[in-house]
Amino acid sequence: LERHLPLAITTVDADQAPATNPQSLQDLLDPVPGVFTLNQDNAAQGLRLSIRGFGSRSAFGVRGVQVLLDGVPLTLPDGQTELDALDLDQIGKLRVLRGPSATLFGNAAGGVVLLESRGPPGQGSVGLNMQASRFGGRRFRIAGGGDGLQGAYLVNRLEGFRHHANTESELLNVSWKNLLEDGSLSLQLSALDITADDPGGLTRAQAEAKRRAASPRNLQFDAGEHIQQQRTALRWETHAGEWAIGATTYAGRRAFENRLPFQGGGQVRFLRYFGGAGLHASRVLNGHQLGFGMDLQAQQDDRQRFDNNNGRRGNRTLDQVERARSAGIFLRDTFRIARDWEASLGIRHDRLQLGVDDAFLADGDDSGSRQVPDWSADASVAHWVGDHYAYARLASSFETPTINELANPAGGGFNPSLSSAQALTRELGIRGELPRGHYSAALYRINVRDELLPFQLPAQPGRTFYRNAGKTSRSGLEMTGVWRPATYWQLDGSLNLARYRFLGGNLAGNRLPGLPERNLRLAVQYQLNSMKSALILRNVGPLFADDANTTSVNGYSLVDLQAEWRPGTHAVIQLGIDNLMDRDYFDNIRINAFGGRYFEPAPGRTYRLSVRLSL
């Protein structure tokens, strides 16, 4: 995959990564330059993932980045992705495609995260994983399988570093894969039940006075959420003569309830049904590597809002059915233009249809619909010499507002003034293999029109609305490399230097909030026989919490320690110490939060001990 895609791509092997016992997807994404994550510790909000700045606006979940698990989209048609149903112990490898990938994946302005599960065991086996950590963390996982079938049941309990941060979750995953004579057929089933309190954002003064405190309003209104989700997917891959074909279908149900820290409309309940299907095919014809496909997705949310009377459900304030349907079709061609030179062209058309049927007519009928058509294209040229590969790329992409982000600040229905963001990317890159390692570097410039940015209203603090903010520019240098100086040692590092700016208007020259413009990571690993250890240094530059750049957030440096011991063939003992130097920093910044409640303090020094047994 790396050889034939003329864009920035990084592969992380979970078994080779220093964080051998990941606590969130952040631990696996950490080595990838250009990727920045926040909010690892607040399960009620979810991990905020951004690639080259796309996704940083999200109040919860992932936006602007497509996420797929074993070829099946986790991203909904409106561009929203929830990561709470991932079993990280089952992830064997991930690939991150940085930069616009719209011609392949649609609504992916920032890039794509491709997750691959570990293959099922060839023989029957059972494994146990038990973990305890500081701040009341307890985790138990039992997994087993054989002959193409595997399953895992995970229970997680966490009191949390901050007050009112309890999390309880249960996750069941079952998968089956049958190897056919000319391909494979696989099935995925998952079920999730999670309850999470939300400690909320603090002002700077509150955070400095008591880092472990919850927001008084979040305590008053008992802020938090409860989610139940079931999902199933079927994927078929085959080779028919010169054709390689992949077909996918999936469906799911998500029941969601939450309590926000305000009264009027401060409780939300929705029942979501979602599903999709895709067909992709490729073949070589007269020296051309042709690829084409189509993707169909749909979701329906039966959404209601109620007053939040200090944690108790009050009168209904909104009742509407929200629908999103998307259809995309694409065509790609890769061909040789000279010896060791290759060119690629791609084009895609997507159409997103959004609709609202208003059933709460006391404040008028806010029913309506919108269509959001988008074209995207890319062109690239690549050259390789031996094990070194260089490319130049020009690509367009788009980012639609999600159904939640289209919420109308004036009441029900959709925000009539909100539109998609459009991006144009220019990129140069190089990567290659060395005698004792490998390297990659990318230089890019992205111009974005109608950037989507969050804001809050005084009457609804904690609820986020969105607006378009004219034009922005993003430019950066991403570098990563791995070096093995000796048999037992490995050094790897990544560096991201970026410049994110508003263009024009009252915000001209300001930095985009929630994004550092420097991010450095270095890891030293040592492995000898049954022992493995790693020391990880991360340095994150300062950032701003608001569009006006009036509130700055200091950068920070962290040191993590990981150690693993295999006393036998059936046992693994792992020790982790996060934030070894016990630094004060912020796990999350709530961009443009009303009343200056931007800050969510991160835990101090955190110990983790886990034991894995295989039977």
pLDDT digits (tens, 9 = 90+) for 190-247: 999 999 999 999 999 999 999 999 999 999 999 999 999 999 999 999 988 889 999 9
As a whole number of angstroms, the distance between CA 436 and CA 190 comes to 41
As a whole number of angstroms, the distance between CA 342 and CA 287 comes to 11
Helices (H), 212-282: 216-220
For residue 510, the SS3 value is: coil
pLDDT at position 3: 57
Which DSSP category does 397 fall into?
E
pLDDT at position 411: 66
As a whole number of angstroms, the distance between CA 335 and CA 477 comes to 28
As a whole number of angstroms, the distance between CA 71 and CA 115 comes to 8
pLDDT at position 19: 58
Q: Which two three-digit tokens encode residue 341?
A: 């030179």
Strands 65-69 and 111-117, sheet pairing:
parallel
Q: How far is CA 168 from the centre of its chain?
A: 21
pLDDT at position 523: 95
pLDDT at position 251: 97
pTM for this prediction = 0.91
pLDDT at position 186: 94
pLDDT at position 2: 57
Low-confidence ranges of the chain (pLDDT < 70): 1-4, 18-21, 102, 106-107, 122, 410-413, 462
346-398 residue pLDDT tens: 999 989 888 889 898 887 777 888 888 888 899 999 999 988 999 999 999 88
pLDDT at position 1: 47
Q: Which two three-digit tokens encode residue 597?
A: 């409640």
Which DSSP category does 363 fall into?
G
pLDDT at position 412: 63
